[in-house]
Structure 1
Amino acid sequence: MPEPQALLEPLELDALYITRPENVRYLTGFPHPEDAQVLIAPEGAFLLTDPRYPEAERESRIPARVLKREEREALFQDLRGRVGFEAEHLPYAALERLRELSPAEWVPTKGVIERLRLKKSPEEVARIRQAQALAERALERALTLLRPGVEEREVALEIEFFLRKEGAEDVAFPPIVASGARGALPHAGASEKRLEPGELITLDLGAKVAGYHSDMTRTVALGKPSPEMRRVYEAVQEALEVALQGLKPGRTGKEVDALAREALGRHGLDRYFVHSLGHGVGLAVHEGPGLSPYTEEVLEPGMVVTVEPGVYLPGVGGVRIEELVLITEDGIELLSRFPRGYLEV
């Protein structure tokens, strides 16, 4: 990562105010980024937080200032020139307050730190590996609970409890446990619905470790599913394999997404694939780069993405299989190691 102040000259800025928590953590390592900001100035960058975090100087990689409200306002009153802010994150009311306090010209910016986060360092990849390994252990635990009569939310709660107990900072997102017809809802929250024999069950989960996330999905059968849903499973598995074979540096997200859609189209199922093929994973569980029909971004070594084709039949059920993948110099490395073949429990 370049020195933060090196970002100013290309943007023709005198300072840059960073408020998005993931970007604050990326620049500082501070574990409470939702209550902190970073101000980048020509003389350097420093973390801003409040007296609830007296340990900030020790926990931040860059100098930290623990400021009371009046001290923070005095700091902004001293700003001059062109000061960039994160237009996609800073609320309008907060921007208006900054303009009241400061004579500076507040300039909207977009994606400045996010572009730096696209390619992961070896240290970042190591944290994602840790999060993924922990999530896979949680999935192993969840599979032991799948039997007729168990509520979806019981399984989801056990996943959360296991992850926390085994050292996760947090879950990456509330676990998805979607059985039977609810599997047709791509982001179905776990409900009080009870599992039934012959259903497919989609489990989508991830862990957060040292700020970094994992994300994976498996769809399993509780006994024998219908021939139709078994056919859907095989089609999604094929689409996943085709996409993984085509995923390599130099390809665009749009090109890889098209491979999966074409594979599903050969089975007449592409119209039931209603979301993008994948997304980046790191300090946010959903970040760049994307794998979608609209993504022209070229994939590069060091990027970490999901590959998650799915088919969702309204009123019937759904299948999604998701892998977590590191783009390498000559191809890919699967960070997710959990078996993905057809499984009956």
Structure 2
Amino acid sequence: MHAHIPFSTDRLDGLLDASGIDVLIVTSKHNIQYLLGGYYHFQFDYMEAIGISRYLPILVYVKGAPDKAAYVAGRNERDSVQNRIGAGYWMPPVVFGSSTTVEAMTLALEHVKAVATSFRLGIEMSFLPVDAADVLRRELPDARIVEAMRPLEKLRSIKSAAELDILREASERVVASMMDAVSRTRVGQSKREIIDHLRRAELSRDMIFEYALVTVGTSLNRAPSEQRLAPGEIVSLDSGGNYRGYIGDLCRMAVHGAPDGELVDLLGEIEGIQQAARVPIRAGLTGREIFNAANEALARSPHGSQMHFVAHGTGIVNHEAPRLTASGPIPYPADDADAPLKAGMVVSIETTLPHARGFIKLEDTIAVTASGYQAFGDSGRGWNPISS
């Protein structure tokens, strides 16, 4: 059984032990997908609401005893589970029958009480509905409840070779989709139309389109709108495309016609910051050193005082561990800023310049290796031309 489990049980057990957790009750779709090696029930890929409640899958994992794990599935999930098992992938014993959050938690706790001797429970507080939490408090009133987000996040932070291959492919497909969208973009088209080009391009590459943050011209507004591209204007394309559960998140630039000298210089400054931030990346480096290198480059740049640089972890979740700064666009504690990076971690680095010419940005995906780094989807970094 252990040979087929798609994550390191020893690493997870150590993280749980350090957090004072004996039993995990996992309720987030992303962590269940990770712990089950990519499995998810297709019916609720878009929305969880159904009937009078919502779909709530639950995975129970007992520290040091993966054979005591169980997966609580929805009533209509049997076919999906059978396909998964039939394909030879790991799946713990499955408990079918839930159609509400209360039923799902009731079934999960029946299993917990049958297999656990200690009730130090790790839960994902941001992903546990109130009515299911009420069931937990009622059925196990003396249980010690611990937030499980951090150990699960740290488990996911070091990617396997297979995960890195998926992230590389996700990144390359996003950039290829952007180039496809640029080739279809014309003067007079709206941001909604440009985003639709990108959506179709990602879907054609077997990706799930998650989002696109697009600017046109001098506007810094990145939301979809009817704003239309005028001759000579620039376009920023920042998109997250999901490939087999992992997010390709990159940003590239385009311009109608040939870029003038000022635009070339501005994007060149941003490229300089991006490359400077890459130089020190390797296993053993602390995340703070990435920011030190970027800040030194910003200090030398003519527009450095106007630019914004950030580095963050990425994978199944955008802005996951390693968490390297507390002052980025998504606020969270910089718990990993002074911890050594490890081979297999993946970091997004991005430099943004809100300028009178428009919103200019590059965002890259960087995998940490023992001796340096690998950049995924590293093409299309200059001004990509939009035809008339």
Q: TM-score range by the shorter chain?
A: 0.7 to 0.9
**Matched residue of 1:321: which SS?**
strand
Give 1:156-171 correspondences, 5 Å limit. Answer: 156-168=195-207, 170-171=208-209
Residue 95 of structure 2 corresponds to residue 65 of structure 1: yes
1:17 deviates by 0.7
1:303 deviates by 1.0
**Partners of 1:178 and 1:166 in 2: how far apart?**
23
**Partners of 1:203 and 1:245 in 2: how far apart?**
25
**Partners of 1:94 and 1:302 in 2: how far apart?**
35
**Matched residue of 2:128: which SS?**
coil
> Deviation digits for residues 26-75 of structure 1, max 9, x if unmatched?
11132238742211124522221211211225426222222335575154
**Partners of 1:94 and 1:75 in 2: how far apart?**
10
Give 1:113-152 correspondences, 5 Å limit. Answer: 113-152=152-191
1:212 matched to which residue of 2? 246
1:332 matched to which residue of 2? 373
Stretch of structure 1 that moved more, 114-123 or 34-43: 34-43
8 Å CA contact 2:21, 2:146 repeated in 1:
no
Given candidates 29, 32, 39, the residue that maps to 1:30 is 39
**Partners of 2:18 and 2:279 in 1: how far apart?**
38
Alpha carbons of 1:237 and 1:72: their partners in 2 closer, same or farther (altered >3 Å)?
Answer: closer
Give 1:299-318 correspondences, 5 Å limit. Answer: 299-313=341-355, 316-318=357-359
8 Å CA contact 1:254, 1:296 repeated in 2:
yes
Identity of aligned residues (%): 25
> Deviation digits for residues 163-218 of structure 1, max 9, x if unmatched?
223322x12x3112211222x35xx1232111112222111123212111211111
Residue 294 of structure 2 corresponds to residue 263 of structure 1: no
Given candidates 50, 57, 76, the residue that maps to 1:52 is 76
2:52 matched to which residue of 1? none
**Matched residue of 2:253: which SS?**
strand
**Partners of 2:124 and 2:30 in 1: how far apart?**
12
- TM-score normalised over the length of structure 2: 0.78
1:181 matched to which residue of 2? 218
**Unaligned runs of at least 5 residues, structure 2:** 1-6, 49-55, 328-333
1:283 matched to which residue of 2? 316
1:119 deviates by 0.9
8 Å CA contact 1:236, 1:310 repeated in 2:
yes
Give 1:239-250 correspondences, 5 Å limit. Answer: 239-250=273-284
**Matched residue of 1:214: which SS?**
strand
The one-letter code matched in structure 2 to 1:181 is: T
1:6 matched to which residue of 2? 13
Alpha carbons of 1:269 and 1:261: their partners in 2 closer, same or farther (altered >3 Å)?
Answer: farther
**Partners of 1:232 and 1:133 in 2: how far apart?**
25
Residue 183 of structure 2 corresponds to residue 154 of structure 1: no
1:229 deviates by 4.3
**Partners of 1:158 and 1:13 in 2: how far apart?**
47
1:121 deviates by 0.3
Stretch of structure 1 that moved more, 285-294 or 23-32: 285-294
Given candidates 16, 40, 53, the residue that maps to 2:24 is 16
1:227 deviates by 5.4
8 Å CA contact 1:19, 1:86 repeated in 2:
yes
**Matched residue of 1:39: which SS?**
strand
**Partners of 2:378 and 2:262 in 1: how far apart?**
28
8 Å CA contact 2:238, 2:249 repeated in 1:
yes
> Deviation digits for residues 67-106 of structure 1, max 9, x if unmatched?
3355751542563622221234334553233212334514
**Partners of 1:154 and 1:106 in 2: how far apart?**
52
The one-letter code matched in structure 2 to 1:3 is: T
Stretch of structure 1 that moved more, 262-271 or 240-249: 262-271
Stretch of structure 1 that moved more, 80-89 or 302-311: 80-89
**Unaligned runs of at least 5 residues, structure 1:** none
1:322 matched to which residue of 2? 363
Quote the RMSD (CA, aligned, Å). 2.6
